[in-house]
Amino acid sequence: MSSIIDIHPHIVSPDTKAYPLDPLGGTQSTWSTERPTTYDDLLRAMDEAGVAKAAIVHSSTAYGYDNSYVADAVKAVPSRFTGVYSIDVTAPDAVKTFDYWLTRGCTGMRLFTTGSTLPDQATFFADPKSYPFWEHAAATNIPVCMQMKLEGIPLLRGIMDKFPKVTMILDHLSRSSPADGPPYKSAEEFVALAKYKQVYLKITPINVQPKSWGKGDPASFFGKMVDAFGADRIAWGSNFPNSIGTMKEILGHAQKAFSFAKASDQDWIFGKTAQVLYPTLKD
């Protein structure tokens, strides 16, 4: 079996003097308040779970656009970490800021367009002011994670049509729900994105342990995603410590959910796809 790689853990330092809080939307997320997790804590959780490496996703709901803590983590443990950072993509100096974070271990970007502290679906990622960012993401071959809802898909399609060389990673399956059951018509528009070869999917506990499976089940729901996109365009992320549980428990739930898949597909989902997206995480 290939090395297990996590492409969606978070870290938050309890040292607010060294790393001041400045959450997007002005309100810090509950999880980052209650469960601050240092990169040393993350390493211990990874070791317990048998996770080899991680692409740490910047905690926007704690630090806004200051990626310093993730950058320091990558510098401290480059053999096991890489960084997925976040910037204001509509700012006049977005490209300059992008380049600065590239010098500090950034190998991925994330656009936080909705979430617990920003419940509405933002549209800024399709603003023409963001175009220099998208052009630079394509030129530097930096994948962009999209934290978004299904309602953002029309705007996303417009960006992908305009910037077909940008690799997109859709966090949490864009909150697609399995509750209606096969053939999952509610996820039809999402699954149709498979025609864009630049699109990759990120499976997290939000998908593995939804509020309700309703008429759905892991084998048919995730099987539909594997059939449409291919396992080589799907990667696992723990969402630790945002999601409740140890990383070992979170990983176990995900592995159980994908137990229907053949071993070679599981290898892609739990490690090999991550290494394609973030080459610095290769063995």
pLDDT of the residue at 1: 67
pLDDT one-digit tens code per residue, 90-131: 999 999 999 999 999 999 999 998 877 777 889 999 999 999
Q: Tell me which fold the domain 5-281 belongs to.
A: TIM Barrel (3.20.20)
Q: 133 near 95, Cβ under 8 Å?
A: yes
pLDDT of the residue at 26: 87
pLDDT of the residue at 2: 82
pLDDT one-digit tens code per residue, 137-189: 999 999 999 999 999 999 999 999 999 999 999 999 999 999 999 999 999 99
With residue 40 as reference, give the H or E element that holds it: helix 39-49
Q: How many helices (H) and strands (E) does the chain have?
A: 13, 8
pLDDT one-digit tens code per residue, 54-69: 999 999 999 999 999 9
For the chain, domain boundaries: 5-281
With residue 1 as reference, give the H or E element that holds it: none
Q: How far is CA 257 from the centre of its chain?
A: 19
Q: What is the pTM of this model?
A: 0.96
DSSP for residue 201: E
pLDDT one-digit tens code per residue, 27-80: 899 999 999 999 999 999 999 999 999 999 999 999 999 999 999 999 999 999
Give the 3-state secondary structure percentages of the chain, helix then strand then coil, rounded to 5: 45, 10, 40
